[in-house]
Amino acid sequence: MARRSAPILRAEYESRAGPNIAKDRWHKPELRPLDIEGRPVLVKDYRRRPLLYRETWGRLMVARETVIYRTLDGIPGIPRYYGRMDALAFMIERIDGPEGGQVEPGSLSPAFFDLLRETVLAMHARGVFHGDLRQRRNILVGPEERPYIIDFASGLRLPRNSALLRFLARTDLSGVAKIRRKLAPDTMTDEDLDLLRMERFRPFRRYRVRRREERKRL
Ligand SMILES: Nc1ncnc2c1ncn2[C@@H]1O[C@H](COP(=O)(O)OP(=O)(O)O)[C@@H](O)[C@H]1O
Ligand SMILES: [Mg+2]
């Protein structure tokens, strides 16, 4: 698979892109919006992060995430991939709509979750594991209530049909079940309930929950 370059150069992007739409943290990439030939685009960019960090971790993350976006390009429910600008930034389709964490429980139709599940299965069929689907902010509610999956920073590309992928795939699906339980509890399927039962066996869960509560209090 050939590497793909973004359709504009950094200089033009720097002068035309809007401000970061994500939380501004030194260890997080900026996500800056831009329109190219009328198409809404978002650039995920480590350029303004501390030098040592961006030249090591930033480069690595861009390399990993672009491989995944390229592998998934064309699947409905995944933002289109428009290519890499340089070693520190790449471009994807910008989806207009709230994050899963910003919508009211009960406001989404069951079809939303069925589509979401289909997208996850299509992603697995191309050998990609997402790894962070329990977070509602990694799902966007696009136009016409279509679900989009974003943020492949924790993702992995694995041999298709490998035992490891099949195992990890269940973790992704249980993430979707968890989101469904939160946002549309009366539409849970037997399979969802089954997947959530598996949750209890996640060994570090209790510890993580406690840490999160502690952080909230600070
Ligand atoms: N394709 C997109 N369209 C619209 N908003 C997006 C898109 N990708 C990311 N975002 C927004 O930017 C935020 C951060 O992006 P994300 O890829 O999750 O970065 P990080 O790896 O730093 O978590 C997301 O939570 C979402 O609100
Ligand atoms: Mg994220």
Q: How far is the CA of 46 from the centre of ligand 2 (A)?
A: 14
Residue pLDDT, tens place only, 99-114: 999 999 999 999 999 9
The 10 Å Cβ neighbour count of residue 188 is 16
Closest CA to 48 of 64, 33, 26: 26
Domains of the chain: 10-93 (3.30.200.20), 100-217 (1.10.510.10)
Region of poorest pLDDT, from 3-17, 97-111, 114-128, 198-212: 198-212
CB of 182 within 8 A of CB of 105? Answer: yes
Residue pLDDT, tens place only, 68-125: 999 999 999 999 999 999 999 999 999 999 999 999 999 999 999 999 999 999 999 9
Where does the pLDDT of residue 11 fall: very low under 50, low under 70, confident under 90, or very high at 90 and above? very high
Nearest ligand atom owner, CA of 155: 1
The finding on whether 209 has its CB within 6 A of some atom of ligand 1 is: no
37: left (phi over 0), alpha (psi -120 to 50) or beta: left
CB of 160 within 8 A of CB of 166? Answer: no
The 10 Å Cβ neighbour count of residue 218 is 4
d(C-alpha 184, C-alpha 127), whole Å = 28
Residue 213 pLDDT? 77
The finding on whether 92 has its CB within 6 A of some atom of ligand 1 is: yes
